[in-house]
Amino acid sequence: MLAILDMLFVGFAVGLTGALVPGPMLFATIEGSLKKGWRAGPEVVLGHALIELLICILIVLGLTSLIGDTEMSVISFVGGLVLVGFGLLTIIQSRNTSIDSGLSGGVLANPVSAGILTSASNPYFWVWWLAAGSALVLKGLEIGIFAAVMFVVGHWLADLGWFTFVSTSLSKTRSFFSGPIYKGVLTCCGLFLMGFGTWFALG
């Protein structure tokens, strides 16, 4: 029982360290929060968790061991280009939107789809899960399936707690974001996504 609780704690601690690092998910949450309020955080995490659930199933089935350096290079390049595209789309849309209208259309308009797409296209996400994440899930499986599940649950709780905090905080200060500030925030989010994507695509 103690080992199972340890896996829950490890999952939470590891998940929190990852969640606190600024990345595409954070900027998708910021963008969604300014339109949908506090619900954007949990919805982004839901999309993120769906991708992670699929990866965990693949880890259990042993399929992730088939991915080598060549495949990771392709993932990094393609994923980086997709993030650059997301960033460019966000910048373009920010010019003709307001905090009242939000981003009407586009793949990042829905927080759940934003969580899925910013996770799936983030090369760092795949690198982490194919290395550290898979090792920790397999470590949990050595104890038992429930221990592995507790690791993943702890990981999700960390994501849910942090991104809900971010979206709730932003939703309470929406009135501060006038038109120019709102467009500036979206432009910064877009520039970050483009920079992050370029770094991975060319790295």
pLDDT in tens, 66-98: 666 666 677 678 777 877 887 887 788 767 665
| Residue 110 structure tokens | 């829905």
pLDDT in tens, 135-184: 888 888 888 889 999 999 999 999 999 999 999 988 887 666 666 777 78
pLDDT in tens, 15-61: 887 787 678 888 889 888 877 889 999 999 999 999 999 999 988 88
pLDDT in tens, 107-143: 556 899 999 988 988 888 887 887 778 888 888 888 8
> DSSP string covering 73-108, please?
HHHHHHHHHHHHHHHHHHHHHHTT--TTT---SSTT
**CA nearest 84: which of 203, 190, 202?**
190
- Grouping H, G, I as helix, E, B as strand and the rest as coil, residue 23 is coil
